[in-house]
Chain A
Amino acid sequence: MRPAAILQRSLLLVALSVYTAFAAGPFVWAAMMSLRTTSEISRNHFALPSPAHWEKFPQAWFNSNYSVYFSNSLIIVVTAVVILTLIGSMAAHCFARYRFRLNRVLYFVIFSTLIFPPQITIISLFQILVQYGLYNSKLGLTMVYVAIQLPLTIYILESFFARIPSDLFDAARMDGFSDWEIFWRVSFPIALPAIATTVILNFILLWNEFLYAVVLITDEANRTLPLGIQRFMGDQLEDIGMIATGLMIAIVPVIVVYAFFSEKLIQGMTAGAVK
Chain B
Amino acid sequence: MPHTSAPLDIEAGRLTNGVRPALPGFGWFRRRAAAPAPAGAGASTATIIAFLLPALTIYVAFTAYPAVRTLWNSFHKVLPRREEFVGLENYAALMQDDLFWRAVRNTIAWACASPLIEVSIALLLALALYAKVPGARFFRIAWFTPVLMSYIVVGILWVWIFNYDWGPVNVALRAVGLGGWARAWLGDPATALPSLIFVTSWMWVGFNMVVLLAALHSLPKEVIEAAELDNCGWGAKLVFVILPLVRATILNLIVLSFIGKMKIFDLVWITTKGGPLWSTETVSTYVYKRAFEWNTFDLGYPSTIAAVWFVIVLAAVLALTWAFGLRQKLEY
Chain A residues in the interface with B (C-beta under 8 A): 9, 12-13, 15-16, 19-20, 22-24, 26-27, 29-30, 42, 45-46, 86-88, 90-91, 93-100, 103-104, 106-108, 110-113, 115-128, 143-144, 146-148, 150, 154-156, 159-160, 162-163, 166, 169-170, 173, 179-180, 183, 193-194, 197, 204, 207-211, 214-215, 226, 229-230, 233, 240, 243, 247, 250-251, 254, 258, 262-263, 265-267, 269-275
Which residues of B130-156 are within 8 A (CB) of A? 131, 133-135, 139-154, 156
Residue contact B54 to A194, C-beta cutoff 8 Å:
no
What B residues does A230 contact at CB under 8 A? 152, 270
- B317 at interface (Cβ–Cβ under 8 A)? yes
Question: Which chain B residue shows the least CB distance to A98?
Answer: B43
Q: Are A13 and B58 neighbours in the complex by a CB distance under 8 Å? A: no
Contacts of B42 in A (CB 8 A): 98-100
Known: A23-B143, A274-B23. A119 touches B309 (CB 8 A): yes
Extra A-B contacts (19), CB below 8 Å, given A13-B134, A180-B50, A269-B148 = A15-B128, A23-B142, A27-B149, A46-B171, A94-B52, A98-B51, A99-B42, A115-B259, A123-B73, A127-B78, A128-B62, A144-B62, A156-B22, A194-B19, A210-B266, A215-B292, A262-B144, A267-B17, A271-B22
C-beta contact mask, B198-215 vs A, less than 8 Å → 1, else 0?
000010011100110010
Residue among B29, B55, B128 with the highest chain A CB neighbour number at 10 A: B55
In the assembled complex, how far is the CB of residue B207 from the closest CB belonging to chain A, in whole angstroms?
7
A123-B23 contact given A23-B145, A90-B51, A254-B148, CB 8 Å threshold: no
Distance of B175 from chain A, by nearest CB (Å): 11
B177 within 8 A of A: no
- Assuming the contacts A90-B51, A179-B43, asked whether A273 and B270 have C-beta atoms less than 8 A apart, the reply is no
Is B153 within 8 A of A123, CB to CB? no
Contact check, B43 vs A159: say whether CB atoms are below 8 A apart.
no
Q: In the complex the two chains form, is A150's CB within 8 Å of B59's CB?
A: yes
Nearest first, the 4 A-B pairs at minimum CB distance are A208-B150, A147-B62, A159-B20, A91-B55
Question: Across the interface, do B55 and A266 meet the contact criterion of CB distance under 8 Å?
Answer: no
The answer to whether A156 and B7 have CB atoms under 8 Å apart is no
The complex places the Cα of A89 from the Cα of B207 at a distance, in Å, of 26
Given contacts A88-B55, A117-B310, A193-B18, contact A12 B131 (CB under 8 A): yes
Please name all residues of chain A whose beta carbon is closer than 8 Å to the beta carbon of B239 when the two chains form the complex: none
* B145 and A240 contacting across the interface, CB-CB below 8 Å: no
Name the distance in Å between A18's Cβ and chain B's nearest Cβ: 11
Whether B317 pairs with A115 at a CB distance below 8 angstroms is yes
Inter-subunit contact A119/B306 (CB<8 Å): yes
A residues within 8 A CB of B287? 119, 122-123
Distance of A51 Cα from B316 Cα, bound (Å): 54
Taking residues whose C-beta sits less than 8 angstroms from the other chain, chain B's interface range is 35 or more
Can you list 29 contacts pairing A with B, beta carbon distance less than 8 Å? A12-B133, A13-B135, A23-B143, A23-B206, A94-B52, A97-B40, A99-B39, A100-B48, A106-B56, A108-B29, A117-B309, A118-B284, A119-B306, A127-B69, A146-B62, A147-B58, A147-B62, A148-B62, A154-B55, A156-B19, A160-B20, A183-B51, A208-B150, A211-B266, A211-B284, A250-B152, A258-B141, A266-B7, A274-B256
Chain A nearest CB: distance from B213 CB in Å?
Answer: 10
With A13-B133, A271-B19 known as contacts, the answer to whether A23 contacts B32 (CB < 8 A) is no
Nearest Cβ on chain A to B141's Cβ, whole angstroms: 5
**Which residues of the other chain, B, contact A211 by a CB distance below 8 angstroms?**
265-266, 284, 288
